Chain A
Amino acid sequence: MDWMNQAALSAQKSDAVFFYVFGLSVAFLIFITALMIYFVVRYSKKRHPVAEQIEGHLGLELIWTSIPLVLFLSIFYYGWTNYEYMRQAPRDAMVVNVTARQWAWSFEYPNGKKSKVLFAPIHKPMKMDVHSADVVHGFFIPSFRLKIDAVPARTNTTWFQATKLGSYDIECTVICGVDHSLMLSKVIVVPEDEFKAWYFGGEDAPEPGKSFRAVEAHPDLKDLPPGLAVLTAKGCLACHSVDGKPKVGPTLKALFGKQEEILVAGTMRSVTVDESYLRRAITNPMDQVVRGYPPAMPLTPMTEQELNEVIRYIKTLN
């Protein structure tokens, strides 16, 4: 089932426990509330003028001590065993060094490859060694139901095995200063072969994730509108959809003329997307990052003419 885009084994483990406890809780809540209401009505002054003085009942006390105790212990046990699973990374897991600093995430792979977003092959265990360069941060992937604090002078670890292609939020959960709420990134779950291609592909290997390219994917560039052709060729579509789907980067659909919240040096601005904005966004992506997205856009060299095509094409997407 897909509940709150459950996208990893850990998510299934966590949700299983949640539903168990949730079921119990609802049952008890209804039971208690119903009982209260019934008593209040049934034994109201009118219907029941003289109260019976009942001191108590040992049997009942024992029952409602032991039953909740047993239930609570079962909750503990279920929660604990599943947690142990979520915590013990398998030996063959690939180890990624996650570094948190005010206010950004960075990921380093065993072969020294660095990235601002976390690329992960689907169905493969990935182990996270989480560090912090300054204060305490929290590494949180809601769709994986995973969280581990990044504590300075300490290495905490967690692991996951993604079960769904896609791009998922990474959020910082421990108050770490003024831009705590902007300390975001993304996990990009990609097919293994694509991941390998990127991972072993040296410096200029294209970033993985092309497979999300929606229907607009097309073998033959010549029959595409020139702008789209460029986007396809330059691999922009790895991170940008043209049909509104969110990916690593914002979709390019209906982008032109839109109000965009961008971060310039950590402070938020609101701008309307126009020619010059698009130019800057493409020619030097890092100096103004769209809110909610990692500063992950690589600088992709383009000729002036290509650039114009791209912009003209983006305009057509409204």
Chain B
Amino acid sequence: MTTHAAPAQPSFLVDTGTRKGLMAWLTTTDHKRIGLLYLYSMVSFFLVGMGIGFVMRLVQLTTFQKLITAQTYNALFTLHGVIMIFLFVVPGLPAVFGNFFLPILIGAKDVSFPRLNLASWYFYMVGAVLAVLSLFTGGGAPDTGWTFYAPFSLKTGTNVSLAVFAAFVLGFSSMLTGINFITTIHRLRAPGMKWFRMPLMCWALYSTAWIQLLATPIVAITLLLVILERFFGIGIFDPSKGGDPLLYQHLFWIYSHPAVYIMILPAMGAITEIIPTFAKRTIFGYKAIAFSSMAIAGVGSLVWAHHMFTSGMSSVATMVFSLLTMVVAVPSAIKVFNWVSTLYKGSIDFQPPLFFALTFIFLFAIGGLTGVMQGALAINVHIHDTYFIVGHFHYVMFGGTGFAFFAALTYWFPKMVGRMYSKKAIYASWFPMFIGFNLLYFGMLILGMMGMPRRYYVHLPQFHTMHVVATVGSWLLVLGLLMFFGALLYALFKGPKAEDNPWGGVTLEWTLTSPPIQENFETIPTITHGPYQFEQESQ
């Protein structure tokens, strides 16, 4: 463990080029700076989405319906969905931690196409701004839900076209990032960094990149068709012109199911980095985890129609897609079991990142298991399009991706900004977050079983009690989150200087200074062993 007393070269946070300050950031091609650009912009949009979610909960307390009309509510959950999916969980970990750490983890100076990388960020920002603009311009905020189902999305007077175009642009950003990562992993691995010596985060990012590449264009063209329908009425989805709404649903989900694995795979990757570091031992079943990532990417692209079981597909189709849905759950199971086994006979140093990682496993398991329930046909016909679904995907996306994001943030924060946060504050924020989360989203699961449909502005009396519980949960949750981000924000400016290797990790990023120097490595390392070798340490 080489711990530089003083970094030989200035850190990447110091402007060395001709440009200074903001301009230096907006024109940077340094993967680490781009990673931070993503982090800051993402958190901001994320807070917007969170605010909206919070308001939606208030609406479910009927007392607030004076303030918000049905039309507004429909706009709220649509924007909430669009922001959270396209601006937060889909770019999520790859854009922030992938950009920052992928080159470092494979011992490279940068990604293959640094300029393209910056371009992706600009695409992201443009898309984001358009999405927000769609709120205030045209016929008012879209009210179709993030799924934009035709023919309603063709008929509604609201500003669907702009919102859809925003998603289209964001898709581009995501695709370019994918291309960049695949090329980087193929071309820029340090000497001796064989495929099976890569940290598993890289495997996760690699599979993710392939999904981004193969799935995103489909949604791009689908959304393009929606726009064409709205402007020229080409009639491919419009039944009154011979089109077929089910075709839209198929095309949409061919992307949007794989997209959910775009969301979760990098999260799983981050967890796979964190657990060995704190268990002080090598990962259990390296290859099993690496291959299960690829398996999820593969099988995951064959299950899309499990979102359409009640749409009136042929009974053969429902059967096949239900079967495949069950199969795709297996690799996730494999990962879960390997993570747990990695704790076995470790020497566990309990720290905030591990705490959040284990919370991730618990919440993701609930999310996944509810997913399996939805995959079972007889159950799906009852819970489809109810709050049960809403509960499921918040468990996987927020409990999964979200908490993995927290874990990763607490894990790499010192490395990224060179300062340490207060562990106490982070622990403290966990409790309201965890309790609130389960009140909120388990409440939703129960509501769904009771038959509460999703996207409802007003609910029937029998659902009210559970809705109140959920809403109270959302307050606790938001409280916890504010504490969490508050602690990190404070550390960002006032935190003590972080050591180079605060957790005693052994992957490459921990051999660098915190924060790393501009091109990561003074000399590109030569790799002689697997990623999680703790022996040298203990000797």
Contact = CB atoms under 8 A, between A and B. Distances in A.
Indicate if A touches B (C-beta under 8 A). yes
Interface of A: 4, 13-14, 16-18, 21-22, 25, 28-29, 32-33, 35-36, 39-40, 43-45, 48-57, 60-61, 64-65, 68-69, 72-73, 75-76, 78-80, 82-84, 86-87, 134-136, 138, 140, 142-143, 145-149, 151-154, 156, 169, 171-182, 184, 268, 291-292
Contacts of B326: 72-73, 75-76
Contact of A175 (B279, B280, B329, B455): B455
Contacts of B461: 292
Given A4-B449, A54-B345, A40 B535 contact: no
A43 B453 contact: no
Given A138-B310, A147-B385, A152-B151, A80 B534 contact: no
A61 B152 CA distance: 47
B27 interface: no
A40 B149 contact: no
Given A29-B365, A39-B343, A51-B279, A138 B381 contact: no
B248 to A, nearest CB: 10
20 contacts: A4-B450, A14-B378, A17-B379, A22-B373, A25-B370, A25-B372, A48-B346, A51-B538, A56-B284, A64-B334, A68-B329, A68-B333, A72-B327, A80-B322, A80-B377, A151-B311, A154-B245, A177-B152, A181-B453, A181-B458
- 7 tightest A-B CB contacts, nearest first: A142-B451, A79-B376, A83-B377, A153-B239, A156-B312, A39-B343, A181-B456
B343 A79 contact: no
B70 interface: yes
Contact of A21 (B65, B311, B376, B381): B376
Nearest to A268: B458
A291 to B, nearest CB: 7
B457 A181 contact: yes
A16 B376 CA distance: 12
Contacts of B311: 149, 151, 156
Contacts of B350: 40, 44-45
B288 interface: yes
Interface string B204-228: 0000000000000000000000000
Contact of A28 (B325, B365, B454): B365
B534 A51 contact: yes
B149 A174 contact: yes
Interface string B431-454: 000000000000000000111011
Nearest to B359: A36
Interface string B319-337: 1001101110110011011
Contact of A35 (B145, B319, B340): B340
Contacts of B282: 53-55
A39 B361 CA distance: 14
Main secondary structure of the interface of B (DSSP, over half): helix
Interface in B448-489: 449-451, 453-461
A246 B114 CA distance: 66
Interface of B: 65, 70-71, 74, 143-145, 149, 151-152, 155-156, 239-240, 244-246, 279-282, 284-288, 310-312, 315, 318-319, 322-323, 325-327, 329-330, 333-334, 336-338, 340-341, 343-350, 358, 361-362, 365-366, 369-370, 372-373, 375-382, 384-386, 449-451, 453-461, 534-535, 538
Contact of A32 (B329, B336, B460): B336
A146 B338 CA distance: 38
Nearest to A140: B453
Contacts of B145: 175
A52 B281 contact: yes
Given A55-B286, A175-B145, A21 B379 contact: yes
A51 B373 contact: no
Contact of B381 (A72, A86, A143, A174): A86
A61 B288 contact: yes
- Residue in B284, B450, B459 with the greatest tally of chain A CB atoms within 10 Å: B284
Given A61-B334, A75-B372, A182-B458, 4 more contacts: A4-B450, A28-B369, A134-B151, A148-B310
A39 B348 contact: yes
B369 A146 contact: no
Contacts of B361: 32, 36
Given A32-B340, A142-B451, A177-B143, A147 B378 contact: no
A175 B149 contact: yes
Contacts of B449: 4, 18
A4 B448 CA distance: 11
Contacts of B373: 18, 21-22, 25
B539 to A, nearest CB: 11
B346 A51 contact: yes
Given A21-B379, A29-B366, A72-B330, A83 B318 contact: yes
A30 B143 CA distance: 40
A79 B458 contact: no
A169 B450 CA distance: 11
B432 to A, nearest CB: 20
- Residue in B143, B344, B366 with the greatest tally of chain A CB atoms within 10 Å: B344
Nearest to B151: A135
A167 B22 CA distance: 65
A39 B275 CA distance: 12
B464 to A, nearest CB: 12
Contacts of B344: 39, 43, 54
Nearest to A63: B337
Contact of B281 (A51, A64, A184): A51
A314 B64 CA distance: 31
Contacts of A180: 70, 74, 455-457
Given A135-B151, A136-B245, A138-B385, A53 B453 contact: no
B340 A39 contact: yes
Given A40-B348, A149-B311, A51 B381 contact: no
A95 B337 CA distance: 50
B453 A172 contact: yes
Given A136-B151, A181-B456, A149 B312 contact: yes
A250 B358 CA distance: 50
A271 to B, nearest CB: 15
Contact of A138 (B239, B327, B453): B453
Given A83-B318, A138-B310, A169 B381 contact: no
Given A39-B344, A43-B345, A45-B347, A178 B74 contact: yes
